[in-house]
Amino acid sequence: MTSTLLRGRLLSFNRAPQSLTDAGSYTYETNGGLLIEDGRIVARGAYAEIKAKAPAETIEIDHRPHLILPGLIDTHLHFPQMQVIASYAANLLEWLNTYTFPEECRFVERAHAERIATHFYDELIRHGTTTAVAYCSVHKASGDAYFAEALRRNMRMVGGKVMMDRNAPQGLLDTPEMGYDETRAVIAEWHGKGRNHVAITPRFAITSTPEQMEAAATLAREFPDLHIQTHLSENHAEIAFTCELYPEAIDYTDIYARYGLLGRKSLFGHCIHLSEREADAMSEAGAVAVHCPTSNLFLGSGLFPLKAFARREKPVRIGVATDIGGGSSYSMLRTMDEAYKIQQLLGERLNPLDSYYHMTLGNAEALSLADRIGTLDPGTDADLVVLDAAATPAMALKMEVVKTLPEELFLLQTMGDDRAVAETYVAGKAVKTAL
């Protein structure tokens, strides 16, 4: 058994911060030690104390003066959209039809899916993201490529073969039966293999017939522990079209509820324009609204009411995500910078503790995976990110006047990107500098 001892400033959240001065919401060790064995964290504390406990042959890595945090988590992005990023479109539906659907057709080729999968994981690692929740394309081969590469890299990943059987090009359509059978095949081959989690993935109500929604409902009943992911209430034209397609539903959220898709393992991308009734329904079901700020700004979709959702009498659970390739950056730091600006436009404050909570423990809780990822707690997986707040000359200059941890976190969020990620650890192994 090999033991590794990391030295640096350790930051891990215990719960959602109530304010910028809520010191009980996190644990911060200024001269910390983190002992890792067999891919797990076994001890955390003051460096001297952990060093004294470490076996004699322990390998020591000194990351001072950098911060060591749990690996960042991205709860919504599209693996087949790496070459869709930066596509010039007026809105969501134009962007989907003009760029996104044609690009996803290419994933019928296993070799293409495998090539993109390699780049996909390289980018996650480069940006300090150690767990992500992705949509593959409709093709089973894309799911196979996605999970095979996750297994090879020993990363904890969630994902699903998209189900879609209408309102898209022929090359991107399955049928209710195919969607069901191929999702079952992906579950049988990949769920629980290595650190893989398969998600039931009807793309959104526009691209699934009621018959396919029934098939998704059956899968949800047959596999109640699996995540479910789809899109909800992103754009006004999308909402209007969706409600025309399902006239019997009260509203967009009700469509998913009618098919048994609204529950604690359900992740709904966007949720920008929900009514109070829909937000109540989400809250009562314990479903998660996933905020994708760079995407919402890029596609002009709207301003997500993150703070308003959190302080409701019936709060809505929240995840944060890049939504590549509607989103424009793989970086969760860039993502939270844009999330901050969206709250500013809404007259709200998103403080830096909140941001880092969301990128780590908050997203782990949104995935019901906080027992494994999202903290530096002993017993959990040693998925980590090492952040350097002086990574660029401009950041280093600003760091000269930074005095507190929240100030440093805010600088990292405001100016940081992959250059600020000094190292990424997956199950205790340094993987970024090895790229």
Footprint of ligand GUN (CB under 6 A): 78, 92, 96, 100, 203-204, 231, 234, 295, 323, 326
Which of 13, 95 has the CB closer to ligand GUN? 95
Which of 144, 323 has the CB closer to ligand GUN? 323
What is the C-alpha separation between 213 and 294, in angstroms, rounded? 29
Instruction: Rounding to the nearest 10 degrees, give the CA dihedral for residues 124, 207, 87, 84.
Output: 30
What is the C-alpha separation between 226 and 269, in angstroms, rounded? 17
x-or-dash string of contact with Zn ion, 409-428, rule CB under 5 A: --------------------
Contact 332/69 with Cβ under 8 angstroms?
no
Residue 17 interacting with Zn ion (CB under 5 A): no
* Distance in Å, CB of 126 to Zn ion, minimum: 21
Which of 61, 241 has the CB closer to ligand GUN? 241
x-or-dash string of contact with Zn ion, 224-263, rule CB under 5 A: ----------------------------------------
Select from ligand GUN, Zn ion, none the partner in contact with residue 355, using the beta carbon and a kind-dependent cut-off of 5 to 8 Å: none
Residue 422 backbone dihedrals phi, psi, to 5 degrees: -75, -35
x-or-dash string of contact with Zn ion, 270-309, rule CB under 5 A: ----------------------------------------
Which of 237, 435 has the CB closer to ligand GUN? 237
Select from Zn ion, ligand GUN, none the partner in contact with residue 391, using the beta carbon and a kind-dependent cut-off of 5 to 8 Å: none
Which of 215, 370 has the CB closer to ligand GUN? 215
Contact 265/256 with Cβ under 8 angstroms?
no
* Distance in Å, CB of 318 to ligand GUN, minimum: 17
* Distance in Å, CB of 295 to ligand GUN, minimum: 5
Which of 140, 231 has the CB closer to ligand GUN? 231
* Distance in Å, CB of 161 to Zn ion, minimum: 15
Which of 120, 204 has the CB closer to ligand GUN? 204
Site for Zn ion in 311-340 (CB under 5 A): 323
What is the C-alpha separation between 404 and 382, in angstroms, rounded? 26
Structure tokens belonging to residue 265: 């393992």
* Distance in Å, CB of 292 to ligand GUN, minimum: 7
* Distance in Å, CB of 85 to ligand GUN, minimum: 11
What is the C-alpha separation between 362 and 12, in angstroms, rounded? 11
Which of 69, 306 has the CB closer to ligand GUN? 306
* Distance in Å, CB of 416 to ligand GUN, minimum: 24
Which of 100, 380 has the CB closer to Zn ion? 100
* Distance in Å, CB of 100 to ligand GUN, minimum: 5
Pick from 260, 269, 319, 362 the residue near Zn ion by CB under 5 A.
Answer: 269
* Distance in Å, CB of 231 to Zn ion, minimum: 6
Nearest-CB residue to Zn ion? 269
Number of shown-chain residues binding Zn ion (CB under 5 A): 2
What is the C-alpha separation between 432 and 435, in angstroms, rounded? 5
Please give the residue ranges that form the binding site for Zn ion (CB under 5 A).
269, 323
